[in-house]
Amino acid sequence: MNLQSSSGGQFPSTRMRRNRRTIWSRRMVRENTLTVDDLILPVFATEGRGVTEPVASMPGVNRYSTDRLVEFVATAAAAGIPAIAIFPATAAAAKTENGEEALNPQNLMCRSIRAIKEANLDVGIIADVALDPYTTHGQDGLVRDGDVVNDESLDMLAKQAVVQAAAGCDIIAPSDMMDGRIGFIRQALDRAGYQHVQIMSYAAKYASAFYGPFRDAVGSKGSLGKGDKRTYQMDPANSDEALREVALDIAEGTDMVMVKPGMPYLDIIRRVKEEFRVPTFAYQVSGEYAMLSAAAANGWLDGDAVMLESLMAFKRAGADGILTYFALRAAELMNPS
């Protein structure tokens, strides 16, 4: 069928602008919506008490000591944000070659999870699984003879997941990109009695330069130095490969998948959603936040407008939700109090 006849002919009988003339009409024909239910807020935890420490490359984003973090998360919960994702800025002294601190039930991540849980907020807690906040080399897995080794890392990652589940997190989010980790983690969680703990896998995570400001925020940039993560994170040139990654994670038992970074990878979100029809999340990463914020701070872009437009673009691409450092601001704009 040809599009012209199915839409009733052409100009002047067809005028695309007719539906756009009024606000109510634009609302009526709108195909996608963005609500606060779509937003997940990533937060940074740090040691101490009463600490709110700005992240230089992410204006408006702070690292919070546990007491302040609980207050910040309470604000997000009150704004209707369904879930937060915690990332710890581990003290340099606690980092080791093998990242043993990841398995310490008293580590910053676990203490943060417990403190938020104790506040009894109606908010899901997502805990990242990867070794980079805890290793002196800043890699997500164990390093042996210069290689990030896969199978030996799986054991650590599964244990890390169980420790975080024991601390009370609701969702485990493996961001390490080792092969087989989802199945390994699922089995470990189940054996330890955490069948109800969900998994959101960073299924298609690319080796991206857009993670720079995040590595500042958690203090892994110095550790990583000139190293990179190209032997496990995906090549930005690939797209079919993302579908294989997602298929494997689903087969291994993930409950939800994520594509990361966000805006430069909207095509991947679309393909994943169309192919698999599972809950699919996008991560608008630190570098994307930094870009939009820097241009807004210079007066080159309208910050709020480009932010909301970028979030809607994720929904249009097929995302069920978005991890974004703008979550709180977006929630405030959508539901002014």
- Length, in residues, of the chain: 337
Measured CA to CA, the distance from residue 41 to residue 284 in angstroms comes to 10
Q: Which residues contact 115 (CB under 8 A, 6 or more apart)?
A: 66, 67, 69, 70
252 binds ligand PBG per the rule CB under 6 A: no
Catalytic annotation present for 205: yes
Q: Which of 175, 223, 254, 324 binds ligand PBG (CB under 6 A)?
A: 175
Stretch that binds ligand PBG, among 103-111, 128-136, 185-193, 310-318 (CB under 6 A): 128-136
DSSP bridge pairs for 280: 257
132 binds ligand PBG per the rule CB under 6 A: yes
Half-sphere exposure of 302 (CA within 13 A, CB side): 5
Neighbours of 93 (CB within 10 A): 8
Contact by Cβ (8 Å): 272, 250: no
211 binds ligand PBG per the rule CB under 6 A: yes
Stretch that binds ligand PBG, among 76-84, 124-132, 240-248, 311-319 (CB under 6 A): 124-132
Q: Among residue numbers 263 through 292, which ones bind ligand PBG (CB under 6 A)?
A: 285-286
Among the listed residues 47, 43, 138, the one whose alpha carbon sits nearest the alpha carbon of residue 90: 47
> DSSP code of 101?
G
Q: Which of 41, 77, 127, 130 binds ligand PBG (CB under 6 A)?
A: 130
Q: Which of 38, 101, 128, 252 binds ligand PBG (CB under 6 A)?
A: 128
> DSSP code of 96?
B
Binding mask 316-335 for ligand PBG (x = CB under 6 A): --------------------
Contact by Cβ (8 Å): 83, 171: yes
Q: Distances in Å between the alpha carbon of 306 and those of 199, 200, 268?
A: 31, 27, 21
* Shortest distance (Å) from residue 325 CB to ligand PBG: 7
* Shortest distance (Å) from residue 303 CB to ligand PBG: 18
Stretch that binds ligand PBG, among 46-54, 125-133, 187-195, 235-243 (CB under 6 A): 125-133
Q: Distances in Å between the alpha carbon of 182 and those of 177, 252, 325?
A: 9, 6, 26
When CB distances to ligand PBG are compared, the closest residue is 214
Measured CA to CA, the distance from residue 238 to residue 231 in angstroms comes to 14
38 binds ligand PBG per the rule CB under 6 A: no
Contact by Cβ (8 Å): 185, 214: no
223 binds ligand PBG per the rule CB under 6 A: no
* Shortest distance (Å) from residue 206 CB to ligand PBG: 9
Give how many residues touch ligand PBG by CB under 6 A: 11
Stretch that binds ligand PBG, among 101-109, 157-165, 211-219, 306-314 (CB under 6 A): 211-219
Extract the tokens encoding 305: 């407008």
Known catalytic residues are: 205, 260
Give the interface with ligand PBG as residue ranges (CB under 6 A).
Answer: 128, 130, 132, 140, 175, 211, 214-215, 229, 285-286
